Structure 1
Amino acid sequence: MNNTIYSINGPVIKVKDTKDFSMLEMVYVGHKKLVGEVIGVTDKFTTIQVYEVTTGLKPGEPVYSTGAPLSATLGPGILTNIYDGIERPLLKIADKCGAFIDEGIDVSPIDTEKKYDVTMQVKVGDTLKGGQIYATCPETPVILHKCLLAPNLSGEVVKVMPDGQYAVNDTVAVIRTEGGEKKELTLCQKWPIRTPRPVQKRLPIARPLITGQRIIDTLFPIAKGGTAAIPGGFGTGKTMTQHQLAKWCDADIIVYIGCGERGNEMTQVLEEFSELVDPKTGRAMTDRTVLIANTSNMPVAAREASIYTGITLAEYYRDMGYHVAIMADSTSRWAEALREISGRLEEMPAEEGFPAYLPSRLAEFYERAGYMIPLSGGEGSVSIIGAVSPQGSDFSEPVTQNTKRFVRTFWALDKSLAYARHYPAINWITSYSEYIDDLAAYYKENVSPDFLQCRQRLSNILGEEAKLMEIVKLIGSDVLPEDQKLVIEISKVIRVGFLQQNAFHEDDTYVPLPKQLGMMKIILYLYDQAMRLVKNSIPVSLMAETGVFDALVKMKYNIPNNQLEKMEEYYPMIDDKLSQIK
């Protein structure tokens, strides 16, 4: 039976009177064979969303079934690549058809001609279970690619090719399944993007994702396998913060999803990533990065798929035993794509026009994060950091509020901080992290037993300052008692000298945890010594005249990351300056 297009509404098309399609099946639409996915089935109509531009499509054109769900191709060659939302390689497409993507273009997601040095990890007679490693090859100079048996397969190895050079579609081994069927194993596999990849066990979260950003690592940490949201209005530095995290966080692999962002911004990301030198290896940052670029002028349905494509690639590398960090920029644009498609489907809108299933879709995405024991053994994790772009910086809108329900770290970006050039512009009053208790044992064992105590004291001082500033706005700071004036003075040192960070300074762009602790201890030592003087009726204004507060603000630049012993010089300096007060 020939299935043909009955109606077209933007990216949504309908096929009438057919039982040939199943839910979430991938299909090809029209003479140009545009990629689509079945999103609704009734006895009268099959509804399909098309991931390409439908301009020029006509009723009566054929729709072809594939019998398989929308899947990502997984194998060596993913890293260093730039994809669109449905895993089409943009650089290869540019070579083939120029700056604009031709409709219905069919390009393999990974290079099928490039040969890799493959080392086999199995021998004839071995029993292979789903998710186990059967071959390895260096994908980039810094990442070893481990070829995994598809999770739904298992069997006995009956043939193994010798070590050597193979392309991704070459057969390197053959297994006999329990049903007696022989399956050829190549270097790649396919996996449906909307289905989470199975694991052996989900582990409790106990290790931080170290970013080198003081306000994050000290006040609002994210765990490996954790989730975080970066909400902020236009110009508050969401993309810039994610760049810093991508460059410096201690993940093995970065998946950067540009979902519905401006084209020029995405171009900047692509150019910057290609120029970045990886601080860990000294090589190009792209050696351990995959970029998914789905800009605001690309088909809206593909924007919805890009998030799932990104998380599937991340899970694949997690299953090899790597720690992966996903930067999703921005989930608001993804939610807007859901809203647009929902409108075309004439579904009943919920709050602000978003579909009623927005919370469950957000939950589905963020729940795919975690610290796991993969089927191949060892440990791996996926950490998700999603930017949210609330219109007019209104954090009460649905995407921000629903994201808040499913993430455990919330880095609220503040417009006034960004405009004052205080970066990262994370507001220390409205942000929070629920991972502190989970990570307490790690900080105690690997940094210092004092770390969390110092962090708590810093938070308390900043919280006290926020209350005092309400009074200062009304009646000025002159009427405050000296101990409260000291809180305001020390808070300024914390804000400018500790929380504010300079991405262009070699010793301040990334700060190791021991230096963060040392800086906290010095600031708190000054606070304690100054409070002792306040109790002896010495005014804070005299202490400020000694320049001791200014000296601590500049501390972040004066202590190189490889000479932390210089911190000890600050204690006698503080004593000396305070002892000069008459």
Structure 2
Amino acid sequence: MDKKRTGVIYGVNGPVIYLQGKSDFKMSEMVYVGEQRLVGEVIALDKERTTIQVYEETSGLHPGEIVEASGAPVSVTLAPGILDNIFDGIERPLERIADKGGAFITRGVSVDSLDREKKWKTHLTVKKGDVVHGGSVIAEVPETRAIVHKCMVPPEVEVAKVVDVVPDGDYTIDEVLVKIQRSNGDIQELTMTQKWPIRVARPVHQRYPASVPLVTGQRILDTMFPIAKGGTAAIPGGFGTGKTMTQHQIAKWSDADIIIYIGCGERGNEMTQVLEEFGELVDPKSGNPLMDRTTLIANTSNMPVAAREASIYTGLTLAEYYRDMGYDVAIMADSTSRWAEALRELSGRLEEMPAEEGFPAYLASRLSAFYERAGMMQTLGGATGSVSIIGAVSPQGGDFSEPVTQNTKRFVRCFWGLDKSLAYARHFPAIHWLTSYSEYLTDLSGWYTDNVSPKFVDYRNRLMSLLGQENSLMEIVKLIGADVLPDDQKLILEIAKVIRLGFLQQNAFHKDDTCVSLEKQFKMMDVILYLYKTSRKLVAMGHPMSVLKAEGIFEKVIAIKYDVPNDNLQLLDTYKTKIDEFYNNVLAKNA
């Protein structure tokens, strides 16, 4: 470390400190502040003053204390041991901090991000004489029971030759595994560990267009408003509407390989619930604990605001690292509003000109840069991996016209708007079908045609059309009541109720309803539309809706989600027979 590059604190303003005069620090460099060596980052430089944001509590700091340069930007350590771990916003493991300093994070605590003494069972995948480049896999380590960690050549290496390889065995993350000779003749030693600056996107070879859905098992998401692998989605909603629960369901049931859950500025008790639940959950795919493929970044509302701002980038960098191995990674950012509030507080401390509602003028560009790092990519090593970002937004009072929600809408292609009235009516997920949208539907229609059914998108559009008609009719019903409607319009209201209760509403605590395959989703739509077609024939013949409802068929179709087990979908085919029996009964009784 360069001892000469130091500065003296001149002023302290919350998490922002100032150094007077010209300094030798570099922009975005990590620094150690004061006697307790608090972690900070240089955020502004001019010839008269250096501005630093500190990622830890600054109470007790005073002018005259020394700030020391680290020589590197704020970076994360990338190596085996990231999964099944809980970090704070700057990748310090909370369990190790607790062992060292108790339940609350003590200031200036210095712990390694990853365990440097643990030996990992390592299988080398290169041999002497092989030609490698940035992204090439040099070793494989079973990091957990679910995920094989692929140790790669750092991205900045262009072409190099392997000159020495250790045999397979047990190694720590700092032991040299491979030596390579670069094109300029230099010998470089490679370990399992890479360092990467959190604000710089990891390089890729090529970005692919959206073409494969991230299947979540949630009907309103997969069928109505799908997200692609490598896609971006926002879940805005007021307090208690189910943002966190929706993210939990996606984390547990989606077909992503790895989950990065970023609790950014959430309440401590809510984060504790997440940590406890994730620790107990069993991965439905493998039967192993869900934490085997999950990393949690916990940055609660009582932690310093600057670290809250950094936690989003820390999670993104970890996700990109696993994407480079060829995995599909899903990021749950809960919530981007708290991150934006951290930006607002720091901006105020820096005396920048505020924009709408006090947020900084660069809020839009920061949100854009965050969501831009999602995507399905061809990695430098030639594999295909993706990072999908699902960001919760917490607008104050549930007002979707506030700046964070509006700017987020500009950069995401999937908008799952949570509705307070649905949540209060215990309709979960409380995603409203009229305020939500997905621009991925046309991109994914070919995949649905090839992998589920050519009719899938058509059926989905027909359900949406019926829900739209119900909304129009409800305006009339509110004015003059449902009794005056003709029977064909009463039928639309009844079928829309079947769609809402039997298809869109989903019970997270029911073993057959918590996660539903696309095949079952399609067959459920098929049965609902067959019921509508049959009922419409009867209404056209002059049979009143009161007679149709008396048969109880609508309730039977609503109950499909509970009555048909996920491992016996053939039962769904019998429902068309039941609908035919209902048709014949009505005809016989009214002949």
TM-score by length of 2: 0.98
Q: Which amino acid aligns with 1:355?
A: P
C-alpha separation in 2, matches of 1:357 and 1:139: 39
**Aligned twin of 1:402:** 407
Q: Which amino acid aligns with 1:507?
A: D
**Aligned twin of 1:165:** 170
Q: Which moved more, 1:465-474 or 1:176-185?
A: 176-185
Alpha-carbon offset, residue 540 of structure 1: 1.0
Q: Secondary structure at the match of 2:570?
A: helix
Alpha-carbon offset, residue 22 of structure 1: 1.1
1:506-541 per-position Cα deviation (integer Å, ceiling 9, x unaligned): 000000000000000000000001011111111111
Q: Within the alignment, does 1:461 sit opposite 2:466 as a pair? A: yes
Q: Which amino acid aligns with 1:354?
A: F
Q: Which amino acid aligns with 2:41?
A: E
C-alpha separation in 2, matches of 1:237 and 1:17: 50
Q: Which amino acid aligns with 1:310?
A: G
Q: Within the alignment, does 1:422 sit opposite 2:427 as a pair? A: yes
**Aligned twin of 2:84:** 80
**Aligned twin of 1:195:** 200
**Aligned twin of 2:35:** 31
**Aligned twin of 1:363:** 368
Contact preservation (8 Å) 1:123, 1:157: yes
1:455-478 per-position Cα deviation (integer Å, ceiling 9, x unaligned): 010000000101111111111111
For structure 2, the residue ranges without an aligned partner over 5 or more in a row are none
**Aligned twin of 1:130:** 134
Q: Secondary structure at the match of 1:175?
A: strand
C-alpha separation in 2, matches of 1:331 and 1:549: 41
1:542-577 per-position Cα deviation (integer Å, ceiling 9, x unaligned): 101100101111111011111000011101111112
Alpha-carbon offset, residue 156 of structure 1: 1.8
Q: Which amino acid aligns with 1:572?
A: T
C-alpha separation in 2, matches of 1:314 and 1:18: 37
Question: Of residues 150, 153, 156 in structure 2, which corresponds to 1:152?
Answer: 156
Contact preservation (8 Å) 2:320, 2:387: yes
Q: Which moved more, 1:348-357 or 1:375-384?
A: 375-384
Q: Within the alignment, does 1:53 sit opposite 2:71 as a pair? A: no
Q: Which moved more, 1:370-379 or 1:242-251?
A: 370-379
C-alpha separation in 2, matches of 1:297 and 1:19: 32
C-alpha separation in 1, matches of 2:161 and 2:21: 45
Alpha-carbon offset, residue 447 of structure 1: 0.2
C-alpha separation in 1, matches of 2:49 and 2:185: 40
Q: Which amino acid aligns with 1:51?
A: Y
C-alpha separation in 1, matches of 2:185 and 2:110: 34
Q: Within the alignment, does 1:106 sit opposite 2:110 as a pair? A: yes
Alpha-carbon offset, residue 19 of structure 1: 2.9
Counterparts of 1:181-580 in structure 2, within 5 Å, are 181-580=186-585
C-alpha separation in 1, matches of 2:553 and 2:104: 59
C-alpha separation in 2, matches of 1:59 and 1:539: 84
For structure 1, the residue ranges without an aligned partner over 5 or more in a row are none
1:392-428 per-position Cα deviation (integer Å, ceiling 9, x unaligned): 0000000000000000000000000000000000000
Alpha-carbon offset, residue 244 of structure 1: 0.3
Alpha-carbon offset, residue 102 of structure 1: 1.4
Alpha-carbon offset, residue 67 of structure 1: 1.7
1:359-401 per-position Cα deviation (integer Å, ceiling 9, x unaligned): 0000000000000110111210000000000000000000000
1:21-40 per-position Cα deviation (integer Å, ceiling 9, x unaligned): 11111111101110000000
Q: Which amino acid aligns with 1:294?
A: N
1:121-179 per-position Cα deviation (integer Å, ceiling 9, x unaligned): 11122222111111111000110000011111242222111110000011111112222
Number of matched pairs: 582
Q: Which moved more, 1:350-359 or 1:470-479?
A: 470-479
Q: Secondary structure at the match of 2:245?
A: helix
Q: Which amino acid aligns with 2:364?
A: P
C-alpha separation in 2, matches of 1:434 and 1:39: 36
Contact preservation (8 Å) 2:7, 2:23: no
Question: Of residues 47, 64, 69 in structure 1, which corresponds to 2:68?
Answer: 64
**Aligned twin of 1:95:** 99
1:257-294 per-position Cα deviation (integer Å, ceiling 9, x unaligned): 00000000000000000000000000100000000000
C-alpha separation in 1, matches of 2:346 and 2:183: 43
Contact preservation (8 Å) 1:303, 1:337: yes
Q: Secondary structure at the match of 2:81?
A: coil
Alpha-carbon offset, residue 351 of structure 1: 0.3
C-alpha separation in 2, matches of 1:376 and 1:83: 28
C-alpha separation in 2, matches of 1:111 and 1:141: 18
Q: Which moved more, 1:116-125 or 1:336-345?
A: 116-125
Contact preservation (8 Å) 1:3, 1:18: no
Q: Which amino acid aligns with 2:130?
A: D
C-alpha separation in 1, matches of 2:173 and 2:275: 26
Q: Which moved more, 1:97-106 or 1:233-242?
A: 97-106
C-alpha separation in 2, matches of 1:233 and 1:149: 45
C-alpha separation in 1, matches of 2:567 and 2:104: 48
C-alpha separation in 2, matches of 1:261 and 1:428: 27
Q: Secondary structure at the match of 1:399?
A: helix
**Aligned twin of 2:146:** 142
Q: Which moved more, 1:23-32 or 1:176-185?
A: 176-185
Alpha-carbon offset, residue 18 of structure 1: 2.4
Q: Which amino acid aligns with 1:398?
A: P
Alpha-carbon offset, residue 11 of structure 1: 0.3
Contact preservation (8 Å) 1:77, 1:110: yes
C-alpha separation in 2, matches of 1:429 and 1:195: 37
1:474-516 per-position Cα deviation (integer Å, ceiling 9, x unaligned): 1111111111110000000000010000011000000000000
Q: Which amino acid aligns with 2:263?
A: G
- Percent identity, aligned pairs only, is 65
Contact preservation (8 Å) 2:40, 2:52: yes
C-alpha separation in 1, matches of 2:36 and 2:119: 31
C-alpha separation in 2, matches of 1:324 and 1:104: 32
C-alpha separation in 2, matches of 1:338 and 1:30: 24
Q: Which amino acid aligns with 2:152?
A: L
Q: Which amino acid aligns with 1:253?
A: I
Contact preservation (8 Å) 2:138, 2:153: yes
C-alpha separation in 1, matches of 2:450 and 2:129: 45
Q: Which moved more, 1:153-162 or 1:300-309?
A: 153-162
C-alpha separation in 1, matches of 2:215 and 2:333: 18
Contact preservation (8 Å) 1:546, 1:578: no
Contact preservation (8 Å) 2:28, 2:43: yes
Q: Secondary structure at the match of 1:157?
A: strand
Q: Secondary structure at the match of 1:37?
A: strand
Q: Which amino acid aligns with 1:122?
A: V
**Aligned twin of 1:10:** 14
Q: Secondary structure at the match of 1:65?
A: strand
Q: Which amino acid aligns with 2:255?
A: D
